[in-house]
Amino acid sequence: GQNIDQPTEMTATEGAIVQINCTYQTSGFNGLFWYQQHAGEAPTFLSYNVLDGLEEKGRFSSFLSRSKGYSYLLLKELQMKDSASYLCAVRSGGYNKLIFGAGTRLAVHP
Amino acid sequence: DAGVIQSPRHEVTEMGQEVTLRCKPISGHDYLFWYRQTMMRGLELLIYFNNNVPIDDSGMPEDRFSAKMPNASFSTLKIQPSEPRDSAVYFCASSSQGAGYSNQPQHFGDGTRLSIL
Q: Each residue of A14-55: pLDDT tens digit?
A: 999 999 999 999 888 889 999 999 999 999 999 999 999 999
Would you state the pLDDT for residue B1? 65
- Nearest Cα neighbor of A89 from B27, B67, B93 is B93
Q: Do B107 and A45 touch (CB under 8 A)?
A: yes
Q: How many CB atoms lie within 10 A of CB B80?
A: 13
The pLDDT of residue B101 is: 56
The whole-number pLDDT of residue A76 equals 97
Disruptive mutation site among A4, A38, A96, A98 for chain B (greatest number of B CBs within 10 Å): A96
Quick one: pLDDT at residue A103? Answer: 96
- Choose the closest CB to B101 out of A50, A87, A97: A50
**pLDDT tens per residue across all 117 residues of chain B:** 689 999 999 999 999 999 999 999 999 999 999 999 999 889 999 999 999 999 999 999 889 999 999 999 999 999 999 999 999 999 999 998 765 556 788 999 999 999 999
Residue A47 is predicted with a pLDDT of 94
pLDDT tens digits, B28-53: 999 999 999 999 889 999 999 999 99
The per-residue b/e assignment along A21-57, b for 16 or more CB within 10 angstroms, e otherwise, is ebbbebeebbbbbbbbbeeeebbebbbbbbeeeebee
Q: Is the dihedral of CA B29, B99, B37, B18 positive or negative?
A: positive
Task: Please indicate whether, in this complex, the C-beta atoms of A100 and B43 are within 8 angstroms of each other.
Answer: yes
Residue A2 has a pLDDT of 79
Q: Does A87 touch chain B (CB under 8 A)?
A: yes
DSSP string for chain A: --EEE--SEEEEETT--EEEEEEEE-S--S-EEEEEE-TTS--EEEEEE-SSEEEEETTEEEEEETTTTEEEEEE-S--GGG-EEEEEEEE-SSSS-EEE---EEEEEE-
Q: How confident is the model at residue A96 (pLDDT cuts 50, 70, 90)?
A: confident
Q: How many CB atoms lie within 10 A of CB B78?
A: 15
Give the type of residue at A39: A
- CB within 8 Å: A96 and B106: yes
**Interchain proximity B105–A48, CB inside 8 Å:** yes
| Strands annotated E in B14-110 | 19-24, 31-38, 42-50, 53-56, 65-71, 74-79, 88-95, 107-108
A42 vs B109: CB contact, 8 Å cut-off?
A: yes
Out of A42, A50, A97, whose CB is closest to B110?
A42
**Contact call for residues B100 and B88 (beta carbons, < 8 A):** no
Percent of chain A with pLDDT over 70: 98
pLDDT in tens, A49-87: 999 999 999 999 999 999 999 999 999 999 999 999 999
